[in-house]
């Protein structure tokens, strides 16, 4: 059931507007360094913050990796000059309750609890929460509570999904710790970030 279709390795949950333009600029840079883009987010935190969330193909991301990405993408963004106002660049790992943006994410974290929001309601419902059951035939499989119908495994087509992320639970924390230990890497945990001026870990280091 947890099969990923051939040719579906690219992100299917994409940014829009300015975030999309920035993604097109920085994604080739990340790939040349051996990283993959998870998400671009522009927020009003600390004035204007441009967050680039990235990871290695195995899901790891160290402080040193964040520093390397920051040094590589900063001049690209400066030359393009597509962000009109001043901003703070923040490079971060996906964290424990990570966004899910690729078919492989739903397979890798099958069994974990996740929240999925659709672009448009289906039978009057846009939000689903439950345990992931993988990805098959272009659909994310999730066991969700359907009210009177009880808990059922349903398939949500990828083009219907607006956002998806893991739910931070004790079980997820234990799983993340076990994976990090198995890799033997100093992977960043939730809230870890780096910018060109100040590399820091705000929450959990070593996950």
Other residues' Cβ atoms within 10 Å of the Cβ of residue 93:
28
| Residue 39, domain CATH | 3.30.300.70
**pLDDT number for residue 193:** 54
Whether pLDDT at 191 is above 50: no
Using CA atoms, how far residue 114 sits from 98, 117, 140, 164, in Å, is 10, 10, 11, 7
Residue 124 lies in a domain: no
Whether pLDDT at 179 is above 90: no
Please give the average per-residue pLDDT across 140-146, as a whole number.
94
**pLDDT number for residue 207:** 30
Residue 21 lies in a domain: yes
DSSP state of 10: S
Helix residue spans in the chain (DSSP H): 17-32, 63-80, 103-108, 170-183
What is the length of the chain? 207
Residue 9 lies in a domain: no
Residue 30 lies in a domain: yes
**pLDDT number for residue 85:** 82
**pLDDT number for residue 204:** 30
For the segment 48-72, what is each residue's pLDDT rounded down to a tens digit?
A: 899 999 999 988 899 999 999 999 9
Greater confidence (104 vs 84) lies with 104
Q: Percent of the chain scored above 70 by pLDDT?
A: 83
**pLDDT number for residue 147:** 83
* Number of structural domains the chain divides into: 1
- pTM as predicted: 0.79
Greater confidence (5 vs 94) lies with 94
Residue 196 lies in a domain: yes
Tokens of 182: 């198995």
Confidence of residue 185 (pLDDT cuts 50, 70, 90): low
Q: Residue 29 is part of which domain span?
A: 17-95+185-201
Whether pLDDT at 200 is above 80: no
Residue 101 lies in a domain: no
For the segment 92-127, what is each residue's pLDDT rounded down to a tens digit?
A: 999 999 999 999 999 999 999 999 999 999 888 999
Residue 91 lies in a domain: yes
């Amino acid at each position: 059931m947890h099969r990923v279709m051939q040719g579906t390795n690219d992100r299917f949950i994409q940014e829009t507007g300015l975030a999309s333009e920035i993604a097109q600029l920085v994604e080739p840079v990340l790939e040349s360094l051996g990283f993959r883009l998870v998400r671009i987010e522009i927020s009003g935190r600390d004035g204007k913050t441009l967050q680039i969330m990235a990871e290695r193909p195995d899901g790891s991301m160290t402080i040193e990796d964040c520093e390397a990405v920051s040094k590589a993408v900063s001049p690209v963004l400066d030359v393009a000059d597509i962000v009109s106002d001043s901003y703070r660049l923040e490079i971060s790992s996906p964290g424990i309750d990570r966004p899910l943006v690729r078919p492989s994410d739903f397979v890798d974290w099958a069994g974990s609890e996740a929240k999925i929001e659709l672009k448009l309601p289906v039978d009057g419902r846009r939000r689903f929460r439950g345990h992931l059951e993988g990805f098959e035939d272009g659909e994310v499989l999730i066991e969700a509570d359907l009210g009177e119908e009880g808990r059922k495994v349903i398939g949500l087509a990828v083009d219907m999904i607006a956002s998806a992320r893991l739910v931070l639970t004790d079980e997820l924390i234990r799983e993340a710790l076990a994976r990090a230990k198995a890799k033997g890497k100093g992977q960043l945990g939730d809230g870890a970030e780096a910018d060109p001026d100040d590399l820091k870990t705000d929450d959990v280091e070593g996950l």
